[in-house]
């Protein structure tokens, strides 16, 4: 029975942290009111307040809309995983065409195989 409580405590903590991240994104990055963001992602202002307080979770469709609005990855929104490398990589890759990018990916694969075998 203790494992179940530990798991639910961890899930509650993750939910609170997720709500804090969403609130930070809304207030500090998007500079939106709760009602404005709620409308943009398809939920009520009251429900968004519950999410930000760690008492609710957004559904996939709303997370996707928040991701598109904020530029953050779903991994960052849901779990707090650093997504700055994703944005930096996107900016760097804008300079190159698809064929060039695929060639570099092949080179990286070969380098990883070389490292693994030595």
Q: How many domains does the chain have?
A: 2
| Residue 75 pLDDT exceeds 90 | yes
When pLDDT is cut at 50, 70 and 90, the band that residue 6 belongs to is low
Give, in degrees to the nearest 5, the angle at Cα 49 between 45 and 51: 115
Q: How large is the average pLDDT for residues 39-48?
A: 98
Instruction: Please indicate, yes or no, whether residues 1 and 13 belong to a single structural domain of this protein.
Output: yes
The pTM of the full predicted model, rounded to 2 decimals, is 0.71
When pLDDT is cut at 50, 70 and 90, the band that residue 8 belongs to is confident
pLDDT of residue 7: 61
Give, in degrees to the nearest 5, the angle at Cα 10 between 6 and 14: 170
Instruction: Please indicate, yes or no, whether residues 88 and 51 belong to a single structural domain of this protein.
Output: no
Greater pLDDT, 3 or 65: 65
Q: What is the CATH number of the domain that holds 12?
A: 1.10.260.40
Contacts of residue 70, Cβ cutoff 8 Å, sequence gap at least 6: 25, 29, 30, 77
**Parent domain of 66:** 1-81
Instruction: Please indicate, yes or no, whether residues 76 and 28 belong to a single structural domain of this protein.
Output: yes
Distances in Å between the alpha carbon of 43 and those of 20, 28, 66, 67, 81? 17, 20, 11, 15, 24
């Amino acid at each position: 029975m203790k494992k179940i409580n530990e798991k639910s405590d961890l899930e509650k903590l993750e939910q609170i942290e997720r709500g804090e991240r969403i609130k930070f994104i809304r207030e500090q990055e998007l500079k939106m009111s709760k009602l404005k963001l709620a409308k943009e992602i398809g939920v009520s202002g009251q429900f968004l307040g519950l999410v930000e307080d760690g008492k609710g979770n957004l559904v996939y469709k709303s997370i996707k809309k928040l991701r598109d609005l904020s530029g953050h990855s779903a991994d960052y929104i849901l779990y707090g995983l650093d997504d700055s490398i994703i944005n930096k990589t996107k900016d760097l890759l804008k300079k190159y065409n698809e064929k060039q990018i695929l060639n570099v990916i092949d080179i990286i694969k070969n380098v990883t195989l070389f490292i693994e075998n030595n």
